[in-house]
Chain A
């Protein structure tokens, strides 16, 4: 069964850093684009970033451009999100999601990991 499991969420002070991980299983990880989507408490979904299967194409949402870095290790079936210069407004549940590329959709989501930025 295909599955995504996020980890790494924590409480961090403003200006701090955190690295999230998303471990994939049950499918050929390298064949899929992968995305990060976040959801602030009580709010809607916001797309954050995407990376192509081979890592050659990367995109970011404007609010995180220059502060967050998406990457992947296909040998470890793992997606990462390095988050630097964190702000209070980055507080959210962060979901990783799979994109089969053929239909540009998010057909599998993880359970999410909570990042809280607060002093």
Chain B
């Protein structure tokens, strides 16, 4: 499975919304109804951390300004009101079948 993200970089004014798209080359919808698509963020100098799992569930401790949507092959991560602490590289990842595949990453900067 090949994961394709867009855009690859973005510069956002604090308080504005941001959206990242992720497309997979195959459907990520399992027969159990889950879409096995995660979102991770790697903040500067840190390890990656989970933001969204099974396409739309927020990980523990993630602010509610983050939301995930989509099904099948098209997915979106939205940040409703970007804050300075949200800078980093965001990756989507499929976990439907091995080898699990990451997108190229989207760099989010603050204007």
Contacts and interface: CB of A to CB of B under 8 A. Distances in A.
Contacts of B99: 47, 59-62
Interface stretch (A8-16, A17-25, A78-86, A109-117): A109-117
A46 B48 contact: no
Interface in A65-119: 95, 103-107, 109-112
A109 B46 CA distance: 10
B81 to A, nearest CB: 25
B101 A47 contact: yes
Contacts of B98: 47, 50, 59
A47 to B, nearest CB: 4
A84 to B, nearest CB: 19
A105 B38 contact: yes
Interface residues of B, number: 27
Contacts of A44: 89, 91, 102-105
Contacts of A104: 36, 95-96
A107 B47 contact: no
A109 B47 contact: yes
Contacts of B57: 103
Interface residues of A, number: 21
Nearest to A50: B98
Nearest to A62: B99
A95 B48 contact: yes
Interface of A: 35, 37, 44-47, 50, 59-62, 95, 103-107, 109-112
Given A44-B105, A45-B105, A107-B53, 13 more contacts: A35-B100, A44-B89, A45-B40, A47-B98, A47-B100, A50-B98, A95-B48, A104-B95, A105-B38, A106-B40, A106-B48, A106-B93, A111-B47
5 contacts: A45-B42, A45-B102, A45-B105, A109-B47, A112-B47
